[in-house]
Chain A
Amino acid sequence: TSAKEKHDEL
Protein backbone atom coordinates (compact mmCIF):
# COMPACT_ATOMS: atom_id res chain seq x y z
CA THR A 1 0.00 0.00 0.00
CA SER A 2 1.19 3.50 -0.71
CA ALA A 3 1.59 6.15 1.94
CA LYS A 4 -1.49 7.82 0.53
CA GLU A 5 -3.70 4.78 1.11
CA LYS A 6 -2.11 4.08 4.44
CA HIS A 7 -2.31 7.43 6.21
CA ASP A 8 -5.20 9.44 4.90
CA GLU A 9 -6.20 10.69 8.35
CA LEU A 10 -4.85 13.71 10.16
Chain B
Amino acid sequence: MNIFRLVADLMHLASIFILLLKIQKTRSCSGISFKSQLLYSIVFVTRYLDLFTAFISLYNTSMKIFFIATSIYILYLMKFKFRATYDPNLDTFRVEFLLGGSLLLALIFSDFVLMEILWQFSIYLESVAILPQLFMLSRTGEAETITTHYLFALGGYRALYLINWLWRFVTESHVDKISWIAGAVQTALYSDFFYIYYTKVLHGKKFELP
Protein backbone atom coordinates (compact mmCIF):
# COMPACT_ATOMS: atom_id res chain seq x y z
CA MET B 1 0.00 0.00 0.00
CA ASN B 2 1.25 3.45 -0.86
CA ILE B 3 -0.24 6.90 -0.36
CA PHE B 4 -1.48 7.20 -3.96
CA ARG B 5 -3.44 3.98 -3.77
CA LEU B 6 -4.81 4.74 -0.32
CA VAL B 7 -6.03 8.19 -1.37
CA ALA B 8 -7.41 6.68 -4.60
CA ASP B 9 -9.40 4.08 -2.67
CA LEU B 10 -10.65 6.75 -0.28
CA MET B 11 -11.76 8.88 -3.24
CA HIS B 12 -13.61 5.87 -4.62
CA LEU B 13 -15.23 5.44 -1.23
CA ALA B 14 -16.04 9.16 -1.10
CA SER B 15 -17.60 9.08 -4.58
CA ILE B 16 -20.11 6.50 -3.37
CA PHE B 17 -20.93 8.49 -0.25
CA ILE B 18 -21.43 11.61 -2.38
CA LEU B 19 -23.75 9.73 -4.71
CA LEU B 20 -25.77 8.36 -1.77
CA LEU B 21 -25.90 11.85 -0.27
CA LYS B 22 -27.12 13.32 -3.56
CA ILE B 23 -29.91 10.75 -3.86
CA GLN B 24 -30.99 11.01 -0.21
CA LYS B 25 -30.72 14.79 0.05
CA THR B 26 -32.49 15.68 -3.18
CA ARG B 27 -34.71 12.59 -2.80
CA SER B 28 -34.08 12.06 -6.48
CA CYS B 29 -31.79 10.12 -8.78
CA SER B 30 -32.25 12.48 -11.71
CA GLY B 31 -29.05 13.03 -13.62
CA ILE B 32 -27.70 9.61 -12.61
CA SER B 33 -27.41 6.87 -15.21
CA PHE B 34 -28.94 3.61 -14.00
CA LYS B 35 -27.01 1.83 -16.72
CA SER B 36 -23.64 3.02 -15.41
CA GLN B 37 -24.65 2.01 -11.88
CA LEU B 38 -25.71 -1.40 -13.12
CA LEU B 39 -22.36 -1.84 -14.88
CA TYR B 40 -20.52 -0.94 -11.66
CA SER B 41 -22.48 -3.58 -9.76
CA ILE B 42 -21.53 -6.14 -12.40
CA VAL B 43 -17.90 -4.96 -12.18
CA PHE B 44 -17.76 -5.41 -8.39
CA VAL B 45 -19.54 -8.74 -8.29
CA THR B 46 -17.42 -10.31 -11.05
CA ARG B 47 -14.12 -8.92 -9.75
CA TYR B 48 -14.58 -9.64 -6.08
CA LEU B 49 -15.51 -13.30 -6.37
CA ASP B 50 -12.05 -13.86 -4.89
CA LEU B 51 -13.59 -12.90 -1.55
CA PHE B 52 -14.32 -16.61 -1.36
CA THR B 53 -10.88 -17.84 -2.45
CA ALA B 54 -8.24 -15.41 -1.23
CA PHE B 55 -7.72 -13.30 1.85
CA ILE B 56 -5.47 -10.28 1.30
CA SER B 57 -6.22 -8.03 4.27
CA LEU B 58 -9.06 -6.84 6.43
CA TYR B 59 -8.89 -3.52 4.54
CA ASN B 60 -9.18 -5.28 1.19
CA THR B 61 -12.05 -7.53 2.29
CA SER B 62 -14.06 -4.73 3.92
CA MET B 63 -13.69 -2.46 0.90
CA LYS B 64 -14.82 -5.22 -1.45
CA ILE B 65 -17.89 -5.97 0.64
CA PHE B 66 -18.63 -2.24 0.90
CA PHE B 67 -18.41 -1.72 -2.87
CA ILE B 68 -20.63 -4.69 -3.68
CA ALA B 69 -23.22 -3.83 -1.02
CA THR B 70 -23.48 -0.11 -1.79
CA SER B 71 -23.61 -0.61 -5.56
CA ILE B 72 -26.55 -2.98 -5.17
CA TYR B 73 -28.19 -0.61 -2.67
CA ILE B 74 -27.90 2.23 -5.22
CA LEU B 75 -29.59 0.05 -7.84
CA TYR B 76 -32.38 -0.58 -5.34
CA LEU B 77 -32.77 3.14 -4.64
CA MET B 78 -32.94 3.92 -8.36
CA LYS B 79 -35.20 1.05 -9.36
CA PHE B 80 -37.61 1.13 -6.41
CA LYS B 81 -37.43 3.91 -3.83
CA PHE B 82 -36.85 6.83 -6.22
CA ARG B 83 -38.00 5.20 -9.40
CA ALA B 84 -40.29 8.10 -10.31
CA THR B 85 -37.35 10.49 -10.50
CA TYR B 86 -35.45 8.42 -13.06
CA ASP B 87 -35.99 9.23 -16.72
CA PRO B 88 -35.06 6.24 -18.92
CA ASN B 89 -35.46 8.38 -22.05
CA LEU B 90 -32.22 10.20 -21.15
CA ASP B 91 -30.34 6.98 -20.37
CA THR B 92 -30.18 5.41 -23.81
CA PHE B 93 -26.55 4.36 -24.19
CA ARG B 94 -26.29 0.84 -25.66
CA VAL B 95 -24.51 -1.09 -22.92
CA GLU B 96 -24.73 -4.36 -24.86
CA PHE B 97 -21.63 -3.30 -26.77
CA LEU B 98 -19.69 -2.55 -23.61
CA LEU B 99 -20.65 -5.87 -22.03
CA GLY B 100 -20.01 -7.85 -25.22
CA GLY B 101 -16.73 -6.11 -26.01
CA SER B 102 -15.42 -6.61 -22.47
CA LEU B 103 -16.33 -10.27 -22.50
CA LEU B 104 -14.72 -10.78 -25.90
CA LEU B 105 -11.46 -9.15 -24.79
CA ALA B 106 -11.47 -11.19 -21.57
CA LEU B 107 -11.92 -14.41 -23.56
CA ILE B 108 -9.16 -13.51 -26.01
CA PHE B 109 -6.48 -12.46 -23.54
CA SER B 110 -7.00 -14.53 -20.41
CA ASP B 111 -5.90 -18.07 -19.79
CA PHE B 112 -9.32 -19.75 -19.72
CA VAL B 113 -9.60 -19.94 -15.97
CA LEU B 114 -13.10 -18.77 -15.03
CA MET B 115 -12.00 -16.46 -12.21
CA GLU B 116 -9.36 -14.91 -14.43
CA ILE B 117 -11.80 -14.34 -17.29
CA LEU B 118 -14.23 -12.66 -14.90
CA TRP B 119 -11.45 -10.54 -13.38
CA GLN B 120 -10.33 -9.32 -16.81
CA PHE B 121 -13.94 -8.78 -17.88
CA SER B 122 -14.48 -6.59 -14.81
CA ILE B 123 -11.33 -4.55 -15.51
CA TYR B 124 -12.36 -3.86 -19.10
CA LEU B 125 -15.95 -3.17 -18.13
CA GLU B 126 -14.95 -0.75 -15.37
CA SER B 127 -12.86 1.26 -17.84
CA VAL B 128 -15.96 2.03 -19.93
CA ALA B 129 -18.74 1.79 -17.32
CA ILE B 130 -18.91 5.58 -16.99
CA LEU B 131 -19.84 6.03 -20.68
CA PRO B 132 -23.64 5.81 -20.19
CA GLN B 133 -23.31 8.44 -17.43
CA LEU B 134 -21.19 10.77 -19.58
CA PHE B 135 -23.54 10.21 -22.51
CA MET B 136 -26.49 11.18 -20.33
CA LEU B 137 -24.62 14.30 -19.23
CA SER B 138 -23.95 15.27 -22.84
CA ARG B 139 -27.63 14.83 -23.67
CA THR B 140 -28.87 17.04 -20.84
CA GLY B 141 -25.91 19.44 -21.22
CA GLU B 142 -25.77 20.24 -17.50
CA ALA B 143 -25.44 18.60 -14.10
CA GLU B 144 -26.16 19.31 -10.47
CA THR B 145 -23.00 20.38 -8.65
CA ILE B 146 -23.14 17.43 -6.24
CA THR B 147 -23.31 15.04 -9.21
CA THR B 148 -20.15 16.62 -10.63
CA HIS B 149 -18.38 16.10 -7.28
CA TYR B 150 -19.37 12.44 -7.50
CA LEU B 151 -17.94 12.17 -11.02
CA PHE B 152 -14.76 14.00 -10.04
CA ALA B 153 -14.10 11.65 -7.11
CA LEU B 154 -14.83 8.62 -9.28
CA GLY B 155 -12.56 9.78 -12.11
CA GLY B 156 -9.84 10.95 -9.74
CA TYR B 157 -9.70 7.52 -8.15
CA ARG B 158 -8.48 5.84 -11.33
CA ALA B 159 -6.19 8.72 -12.23
CA LEU B 160 -4.42 8.25 -8.87
CA TYR B 161 -4.17 4.53 -9.56
CA LEU B 162 -2.02 5.41 -12.59
CA ILE B 163 0.46 7.10 -10.26
CA ASN B 164 0.21 4.14 -7.88
CA TRP B 165 1.14 1.77 -10.72
CA LEU B 166 4.11 3.90 -11.69
CA TRP B 167 5.17 3.93 -8.03
CA ARG B 168 4.77 0.17 -7.70
CA PHE B 169 6.71 -0.41 -10.90
CA VAL B 170 9.63 1.61 -9.59
CA THR B 171 9.58 0.33 -6.00
CA GLU B 172 8.41 -3.30 -6.37
CA SER B 173 8.84 -4.01 -10.12
CA HIS B 174 5.12 -4.73 -10.06
CA VAL B 175 3.70 -5.07 -13.60
CA ASP B 176 0.04 -5.44 -14.54
CA LYS B 177 -0.40 -4.41 -18.17
CA ILE B 178 -4.13 -5.11 -18.38
CA SER B 179 -4.94 -2.92 -15.39
CA TRP B 180 -2.59 -0.22 -16.69
CA ILE B 181 -4.06 0.00 -20.17
CA ALA B 182 -7.66 -0.20 -18.98
CA GLY B 183 -6.92 2.34 -16.24
CA ALA B 184 -5.38 4.75 -18.74
CA VAL B 185 -8.42 4.42 -21.01
CA GLN B 186 -10.74 4.94 -18.05
CA THR B 187 -8.91 8.09 -16.95
CA ALA B 188 -8.79 9.46 -20.51
CA LEU B 189 -12.58 9.18 -20.80
CA TYR B 190 -12.85 11.72 -17.99
CA SER B 191 -10.54 14.30 -19.56
CA ASP B 192 -13.31 16.51 -21.01
CA PHE B 193 -15.24 16.26 -17.77
CA PHE B 194 -12.17 17.14 -15.66
CA TYR B 195 -11.57 20.20 -17.84
CA ILE B 196 -15.11 21.56 -17.43
CA TYR B 197 -15.15 20.64 -13.73
CA TYR B 198 -11.94 22.61 -13.24
CA THR B 199 -12.92 25.65 -15.31
CA LYS B 200 -16.52 25.92 -14.10
CA VAL B 201 -17.46 24.02 -10.93
CA LEU B 202 -14.27 24.87 -9.05
CA HIS B 203 -14.85 28.51 -9.92
CA GLY B 204 -18.30 28.44 -8.39
CA LYS B 205 -20.24 28.14 -11.63
CA LYS B 206 -22.82 25.59 -12.66
CA PHE B 207 -21.66 22.62 -14.71
CA GLU B 208 -22.83 23.30 -18.26
CA LEU B 209 -21.49 21.96 -21.49
CA PRO B 210 -20.21 24.61 -23.89
A-side residues, CB < 8 A to B, are 2-4, 6-10
Which residue of the partner chain, among B53, B56, B119, B161, contacts A8 with CB atoms under 8 Å? B56
Say whether chain A's binding surface is mostly helix, strand, loop, or mixed. loop
Q: Which B residues lie within 8 Å of A7 (CB)?
A: 47, 50, 119
Say whether chain B's binding surface is mostly helix, strand, loop, or mixed. helix
Contact B60 A3 (CB under 8 A): no
Which residue of the partner chain, among B50, B67, B176, B179, contacts A3 with CB atoms under 8 Å? B50
Contact B64 A4 (CB under 8 A): no
Within B160-191, the residues touching A (CB, 8 Å) are 161, 164, 176, 179
Contact A10 B9 (CB under 8 A): yes
Q: Which B residues lie within 8 Å of A10 (CB)?
A: 9, 12, 60, 63-64, 67
Chain B 43-76, CB-CB to A under 8 Å as 1, else 0, gives 0000100100111100010011001000000000
Q: Which A residues lie within 8 Å of B56 (CB)?
A: 4, 8
Q: Is there a chain A Cβ closer than 8 Å to B5's Cβ?
A: yes
- 3 smallest CB-CB distances across A and B, nearest first, come from A4-B54, A3-B54, A8-B56
A8-B56, A9-B179, A10-B9 known; A3+B63 contact, CB < 8 A:
no
Give bound CA distance, A10 to B47, whole Å: 9
A9-B5, A9-B179, A10-B9 known; A3+B64 contact, CB < 8 A:
no
